[in-house]
Amino acid sequence: MHTNETVNAPETRAAPAGAEIKAAMTDFLGAFEAFKDANDRRLAELESRNFEDAILVEKVERINAALTEQKSAIDRLALDARRPALGRAAAPVDERKAAFLDYMRSGDARSFDARSLEAKSLSIGAPAEGGYLAPEETAAAVAAAVRDASPMRQIASVREIGANVFRKPTSLGGLVASWVGETAARDATATPTLQAIDFATAELYAMPAATQALLDDAVVDVEQWLADEVQAEFAAQETTAFVSGNGSNKPTGFLHPTKVAEASRDVDEIGYVATGADGAFPTDDPADILLDLIYAPKQAYRANGRFAMNKGVVASVRKFKDADGNYIWQPALEAGRASTLLGYPVTEIEDMPAISSGSFSIAFGDFRRGYLIVDRQGLQVLRDPYTAKPYVLFYTTKRVGGGVQDYDAIKLLRFAAS
């Protein structure tokens, strides 16, 4: 069961003022300048005296950790600024939505029948046993909230489907194009080799709770409240599955397929580049291995390439410089924008593994072409006022799938000798 302040004290959410975000960005950029200064002194001392001052190292790490926290705080402010206020009263746009909101507030499902509206059950039997299909507006509000909170949904392709499985034909190569004169005969070209990839959906659920007083408050937009409540739980579970899921009652993550050194991989395997050092970046010129990772995909995938890693790995690469002495990590100059690494945007995904022996802790590529998320149409809600009195639980379910759709598009960095 999930509860938060909105359960006990229905309050409106005010969007953070632009001045607050601007002040946070100013502090963040100032902290980055302090970090560069301290790290430059650390590197200079290491080069001239061949050892690091413990106090200076501790200062660099402290500022680095503060930068990571400031970046997370700015992202949260930018996300809150995009959300509508909870306290706005949204007038129902049609009978279907009005009936659903009546059910949400009071549990009265009679309006579904009274208005001859379709009530869909989650399970075989009476609708009250399985819940009701939410109207499109409610489902859209939840989808928008989850998208804002899910880093994978922001960078991957997302497709809505009407069945439990989406089958996508994929080319394994063999298609040939040819030049020809204007009036010359056209010889038949080779046909591509195709295989079908199935993207099965699995059920994902969340169970937010509210007091009846909150539901009775006419000022509260119950539809947006539901979206805000389930977004964090849905986004967290989805992201874990999109990264490392094994495909059993959940999506298949992009780290799950067989991983092989890029030079010898097959068409249905994820290629990787090794750092050459077990559980670490190379000691000499560590930024060079990131360049190797960037150039592992074909040029067509680099155009829209980006890095994916957790914030701990970001903190590590933040210290690196290129051959000209420039920091390869650069902060975004606007809240809500991605920082860059060697000119490519960085998406922080906390479910990416930390650096350890043999870990695949950094991914690079065109995730929109490489990974597909499928959403089965429909969001179902079952109102449960009995299980956790005095709270009312809302058992909310949807069906989601996902998997790699183009193995050429995503490459991994392996922290190993080979």
In a structure prediction context, what are the per-residue pLDDT tens digits for the chain, which is 418 residues long?
Answer: 444 443 343 343 444 457 888 888 888 888 899 999 988 888 888 777 777 778 888 898 899 998 888 888 887 777 776 665 544 444 445 677 888 888 899 887 776 654 444 444 333 333 445 578 888 888 988 999 899 889 999 999 999 999 999 998 876 655 566 787 777 777 766 666 667 889 999 999 999 999 999 999 988 888 889 999 999 899 999 999 999 999 999 999 999 999 999 999 998 899 999 999 999 999 999 999 999 999 999 999 999 999 999 999 999 999 999 989 999 999 988 877 899 999 999 999 999 999 999 999 999 999 999 999 999 988 999 999 999 999 999 999 999 999 999 999 999 999 999 9
Domain 259-371+407-414 has CATH 3.30.2320.10: yes
The dihedral through the CA atoms of 95, 100, 103, 106 has a sign that is negative
CA 128 → CA 204, 207, 393, distances in Å?
20, 16, 14
Could you tell me which of 225, 231, 232, 229 has the C-alpha nearest to residue 105? 225
Q: pLDDT at position 86, please?
A: 47
* Cα first-last separation, the chain: 45
- Cis peptide preceding 390, ω within 30 of 0: yes
Q: pLDDT at position 112, please?
A: 62
Does an H or E element contain 254, and which?
none
> In the structure encoding, which two tokens stand for residue 140, read together?
């859209």
Q: Are 349 and 151 in contact (CB under 8 A)?
A: yes
β strands within 164-317, DSSP E: 165-171, 194-200, 202-206, 209-211, 259-261, 270-274, 306-309
> In the structure encoding, which two tokens stand for residue 193, read together?
């080799």
Phi-psi category of residue 131: left, alpha or beta, with phi > 0 → left and psi -120 to 50 → alpha: left
> In the structure encoding, which two tokens stand for residue 343, read together?
């000119």
Q: pLDDT at position 130, please?
A: 58
